[in-house]
Amino acid sequence: MKAISGKRVSIILPALNEEDTIGRVIDEVPKVDMEGKGYQVEIVVVDNNSTDRTREIAEAKGAKVIVEPVKGKGRAVRTAFESVDGDFMFMLDADYTYPATYIPQMLKMLEEGCDVVIGSRLKGQREEGAMRRLNLVGNHLLVLMANILYGTRVSDLCTGYWGFNAKVIDDLKLDAVGFELEANMFVEIAKKGYRIAEVPIFYRRRPTQAKLGSLKDGLRIGRTLMKKRFR
């Protein structure tokens, strides 16, 4: 991968009480390799008002920390998008389920002209126990709904692993507060005609307790898809 000298890459990690995993995620980011290819790389942790040592660990690892006191993944990521100015931006969860090692591959695709690249759990492989059967079925149903409503061919609507050309972020009108964030981003991207490419990834089992409520949050995501399609 050949970089144009000085291009900036911002890696955004939304986090709420992730003291057990945030350090591992930051350590896994191939920052040195990307810097060796000419990129300026910043790791930005959006601390969603954690009550544990998430913030301290992130700062000790050299990450920039932004505090968003209003709870909700959507609110946290929107704050990050408003605060960073990379030429390319990546978002992945801070729970160590998404390997940060795919970032260079996704970055190469963005450099070659892709608008958005997602890490697809459903096209890739999953560690045993990483997704419950209910979650897997729900994800497939939401993907089917999204593709029918918006005429797209994505395989993983709810992935927490996204890469963007900055021009796309500047064009998105996001209003998500919680876990409907990914659906909100997808709708905006699809409506504006941006191209979504995919990289199959290995999805790891979360080492700590999950925060996503399968049924409640799935219904909220479905409502977001329907409401925004006909608005």
Q: At what angle do helices 181-191 and 214-229 cross, to 10 degrees?
A: 20
Contact 224, 187 (CB under 8 A): yes
Compute, in degrees rounded to 10, the torsion defined by CA atoms 202, 207, 213, 214. 40
Q: What pLDDT digit, counting tens, does each position of 132-153 carry?
A: 998 899 999 999 999 999 999 9
Tokens describing residue 120: 């697809």
Owning domain of residue 15: 8-229
Looking at residue 218, its pLDDT comes to: 83
Compute, in degrees rounded to 10, the torsion defined by CA atoms 182, 41, 107, 201. -60
Looking at residue 214, its pLDDT comes to: 65
- Residue 1 included in any domain: no
- Residue 2 included in any domain: no
Looking at residue 98, its pLDDT comes to: 98
From residue 117, alpha-carbon distances to 6, 58, 155, 168 in Å are 21, 25, 12, 11
List, for the chain, all residue ranges whose pLDDT scores fall below the cut of 70. 1-5, 211-214
Looking at residue 209, its pLDDT comes to: 73
Looking at residue 219, its pLDDT comes to: 87
Tokens describing residue 221: 């995501």
- The CATH number linked to 213 is 3.90.550.10
Give the separation between CA 103 and CA 3, rounded to whole angstroms. 14
- Residue 206 included in any domain: yes
**How many distinct structural domains can be found in the chain?**
1
- Residue 3 included in any domain: no
Give the separation between CA 10 and CA 87, rounded to whole angstroms. 8
- Residue 159 included in any domain: yes
Q: Quickly list H helices, 29-117.
A: 31-36, 54-60, 73-83, 103-111
Give the separation between CA 218 and CA 179, rounded to whole angstroms. 9
Instruction: Tell me the one-letter amino acid at 7.
Output: K
Q: What is the mean pLDDT of the chain?
A: 93
Residue 227: Cβ-neighbour burial (10 angstroms; 0-12, 13-18, 19+):
exposed
Nearest one of 225, 228, 205, 206 to 217, comparing CA atoms: 225
What is the model's pTM? 0.92
- Residue 161 included in any domain: yes
- Residue 24 included in any domain: yes
